[in-house]
Structure formats: structure tokens, C-alpha cells
């Protein structure tokens, strides 16, 4: 059986259980077909290390290192990875970097010194001209090192054409294979809804500025002039910001439910009960909440940005302009008036075929086979 070492810049941990949870789901999916050792080094407030056996083919090695300074931190980062490399010496068939910086630095070093091949999956949405902290605005050192990491990689495994094209344009030309983000279909699946006269819109995010939740609230407020039997469920975000939003929209608070951060299984339940999911972001790569909603058979209204148009079609949702409250209001009204046009079972069936553990894991395994053999 193949033995692949995953070097992960982002990965769920005791400090932040949601950081790179999509990476973890890809690891679980791929471990159905090969043996995977995940390595993640996190600089935080104390030293610790955990080894977790997720299943017979997947083991997670998480190292917590107390922050000191850049030089000392890098030395710890280097020696921890070298220890792992020695531990699995002669067993590693391939290295898979998840998020280029900083894990990709070690893959580059190993390629140069030990000729260990590696591939990259990049999730970081900086390879465009839409965000302020984009790749082209990073330091010369950051850009140089990143370019070297991509240059010596055998392949880019991208979750969307959007981010792949951005990397080709901003960094270097590179061979690309597409392997989608993963949905846990044991949680996100079609479920017959209760006969509820209230039409529920659901939004899930960290409520950052990019997610433009204020635009959602403004559109919902306008929609109340046409539709009365509606409700907005907002999942995620810090309580201090939620309190501010409640204060700003106090006049419609009875129609809005702010849930805050909840467990993953609870998110699935609320999406299943909802009638439509809304993504109103200014820029995105390939949002997991969209494909999770589709696996539940729930149509999605989303902005025409990033990799979203690769997911949404007229059969499963509506695309709108970013930062356009009126278009969002109209789309919400349209999906209420024409809800019978969306076949929830068909939406769920197609999404599960594309985003399930089996489908994505098999795709990544096929890519590994093509490189190793």
C-alpha cells in the first residue's frame, strides 16, 4: 500500500478545531485508498505534541510549539519535520503539501536534498487581484520561496479551476489536476422537510467582512416588504459581532436567528431544515458550505466570484453580483416563488456523486498512482 506524507500548513487542532477542516476531510477520504501520515506544526503559547490514529490508514501528528522568534521558530519547524522524515525513512512514496506556505518549504528542502517528490494542494485564496493581501502584494522573499515550491512540485492538485488559473498567472505555469473539496455525506444528505409554512434562508460563515453578512441582512429586510413568512438563520461568528448586528437590525430581530459557533453535525441539521443557503462573499475559492448544502438537496444563492460559478447552475441555485443588495433580494424572492423548480433529490444525488469521500478519495488516489508508477 502507498505511504503518503501530508505536510499541512493548516489543519484542525486543539487551538482552532475549524482551521483547515476541509484538509482533514480530504485526508480521511484519501485514507480509504492509501496510508497517510499527517504532520502539522502550530506555533502557539505552549509546547505539546499529539498523535491521533483516525483510522487504520490515517495518523495525525500535531506539534504545538511555543512561539519565540522567527529564527528559533524555523529551527524548531525544521527539526520536527526532519524527525518525522527519519521516522518514516524508506516508507515515503510521495509527499503531499496542503497549503503551500509554510509546509511547502520542507517539501522543497527534501526534494533538493533527498529527491523526495511532492505535490501541492493550495487552498489559500491570495492568487488574484481582488483582495488586499494578495500574492502580488507579498514580500519579495515570500514570492520567491513560494515560486520555488511550486516550480519543483510534480503537480498542483486544485479544488477549483479558479485558484489553479490564479496560480498559473501569478506564480508559474504548472500541471494541474482537479480534486474537489469533500463533504461528509454521513452528516450532509437529503432529508424530507417538515411541512413548514416558514421559508428558511441559512447563512454559514465566520461573519468576516468578506462574507458580507450585512448585505444579506439588508436584502432580507427588503424582502420582508414582499414576503412575510420567511426566516433567516445565521450560523457562526463571534458573539461580540453578533451582538452588534442584533443592535443594528433590532427592528427585524424576530425574523432572524443568530446561532453562533456550533458543532459540525448541528450545522448539517440546520442546513437540512433550511430551504435555501446564501453565500454573499466578495471573493471565494470553493466554499464547502455550498457543496454541503447541495448534498442536502438545498439550493444555493451565491455571488458570481472565484470558483463558485464552477459549482452553481440554474438547476441548483442562482448566481448574483457581489455587493448587490437588490440582486440578492430579487434572487431570494425568486427562489421562494419558484421553489418547485428545484428538485432536491436530484440536487443531492448529483452533489454526492461528485463530493463524497469515495469520489474525491478515489480521484486523489488515481493522481498518486499516475505519479508513483
pLDDT score of 280: 98
Interior CA angle at 341 toward 338 and 342, to 5°?
Answer: 110
pLDDT score of 193: 85
pLDDT in tens, 354-369: 999 999 999 999 999 9
Write down the mean pLDDT value for the chain: 96
pLDDT score of 37: 98
- Average pLDDT over every residue of 60-74: 96
Q: Is 199-354 the same fold as 3-179?
A: yes
Task: Select from 1.10.10.10, 3.40.50.2000, 3.10.129.10, 3.40.50.620 the CATH code of 3-179.
Answer: 3.40.50.2000
* C-alpha cell recorded at residue 372: 508513483
Predicted confidence (pLDDT) at residue 212 exceeds the cutoff of 90: yes
84 pLDDT band, cuts 50/70/90, is very high
Predicted confidence (pLDDT) at residue 350 exceeds the cutoff of 80: yes
pLDDT score of 227: 96
- Give me the sign of the Cα torsion angle 311, 314, 318, 319: positive
* C-alpha cell recorded at residue 19: 482551521
Task: Give the 3-state secondary structure of residue 115.
Answer: coil
Predicted confidence (pLDDT) at residue 252 exceeds the cutoff of 80: yes
248 pLDDT band, cuts 50/70/90, is very high
State the Cα–Cα distance between residues 333 and 115, nearest whole angstrom.
57
Give me the percent of the chain exceeding a pLDDT of 90: 97
- Average pLDDT over every residue of 46-56: 97
Please state the domain extents for the chain: 3-179, 199-354
State the Cα–Cα distance between residues 242 and 171, nearest whole angstrom.
38
Kindly provide the residue ranges of all beta strands, DSSP E only, lying in the chain, ordered along the sequence: 3-8, 35-44, 48-55, 58-66, 94-98, 118-121, 156-158, 176-178, 199-204, 230-235, 256-260, 276-279, 300-303, 317-320
pLDDT in tens, 9-29: 999 999 999 999 999 999 999
> Under a CB-based contact definition with an 8 Å cutoff, are residues 160 and 285 in contact?
yes
Using alpha carbons, select from 269, 243, 268 the residue that is nearest to residue 256: 243
Q: So what's the architecture of 199-354 in CATH? A: 3-Layer(aba) Sandwich (3.40)
State the Cα–Cα distance between residues 367 and 360, nearest whole angstrom.
11
pLDDT score of 194: 78
Kindly provide the residue ranges of all beta strands, DSSP E only, lying in 156-299, ordered along the sequence: 156-158, 176-178, 199-204, 230-235, 256-260, 276-279
Amino acid at each position: 500500500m502507498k505511504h503518503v506524507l501530508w505536510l499541512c500548513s493548516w489543519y484542525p487542532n486543539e487551538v482552532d478545531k475549524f482551521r483547515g477542516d476541509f484538509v482533514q476531510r480530504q485526508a480521511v477520504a484519501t485514507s480509504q485508498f492509501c496510508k497517510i501520515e499527517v504532520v502539522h506544526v502550530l506555533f502557539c503559547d505552549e509546547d505539546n505534541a499529539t498523535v491521533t490514529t483516525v483510522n487504520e490508514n490515517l495518523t495525525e501528528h500535531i506539534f504545538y510549539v511555543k512561539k519565540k522568534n522567527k529564527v528559533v521558530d524555523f529551527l524548531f519547524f525544521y527539526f520536527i519535520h526532519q524527525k518525522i522524515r527519519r521516522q518514516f525513512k524508506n516508507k515515503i512514496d510521495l509527499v503531499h503539501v496542503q497549503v503551500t506556505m509554510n509546509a511547502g518549504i520542507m517539501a522543497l528542502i527534501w526534494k533538493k536534498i533527498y529527491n523526495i517528490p511532492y505535490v501541492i494542494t493550495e487552498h489559500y485564496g491570495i492568487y488574484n487581484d481582488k483582495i488586499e493581501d494578495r500574492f502580488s502584494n507579498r514580500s519579495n522573499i515570500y514570492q520567491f520561496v513560494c515560486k520555488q515550491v511550486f516550480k519543483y512540485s510534480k503537480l498542483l492538485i486544485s479544488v477549483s479551476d479558479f485558484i489553479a488559473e490564479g496560480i498559473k498567472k501569478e506564480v508559474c505555469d504548472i500541471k494541474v489536476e482537479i480534486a474537489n473539496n469533500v463533504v461528509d455525506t454521513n452528516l450532509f444528505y437529503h432529508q424530507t422537510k417538515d411541512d413548514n409554512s416558514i421559508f428558511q434562508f441559512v447563512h454559514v460563515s465566520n461573519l468576516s467582512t468578506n462574507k458580507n453578512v450585512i448585505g444579506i441582512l439588508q436584502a432580507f429586510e427588503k424582502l420582508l416588504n414582499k414576503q412575510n413568512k420567511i426566516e433567516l438563520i445565521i450560523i457562526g461568528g463571534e458573539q461580540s459581532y453578533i451582538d452588534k448586528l442584533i443592535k443594528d437590525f433590532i427592528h427585524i430581530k424576530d425574523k432572524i436567528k443568530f446561532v453562533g459557533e456550533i458543532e459540525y453535525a448541528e450545522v448539517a441539521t440546520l442546513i437540512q431544515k433550511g430551504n435555501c443557503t446564501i453565500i454573499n462573499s466578495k471573493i471565494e475559492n470553493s466554499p464547502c458550505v455550498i457543496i454541503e448544502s447541495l448534498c442536502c438537496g438545498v439550493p444555493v444563492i451565491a455571488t458570481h466570484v472565484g470558483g463558485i460559478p464552477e459549482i452553481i447552475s440554474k438547476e441548483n441555485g442562482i448566481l448574483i453580483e457581489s455587493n448587490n443588495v437588490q440582486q440578492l433580494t430579487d434572487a431570494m424572492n425568486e427562489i421562494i416563488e419558484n421553489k418547485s423548480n428545484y428538485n432536491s433529490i436530484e440536487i443531492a444525488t448529483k452533489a454526492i456523486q461528485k463530493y463524497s469521500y469515495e469520489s474525491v478519495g478515489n480521484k486523489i488516489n488515481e493522481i498518486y498512482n499516475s505519479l508513483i508508477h
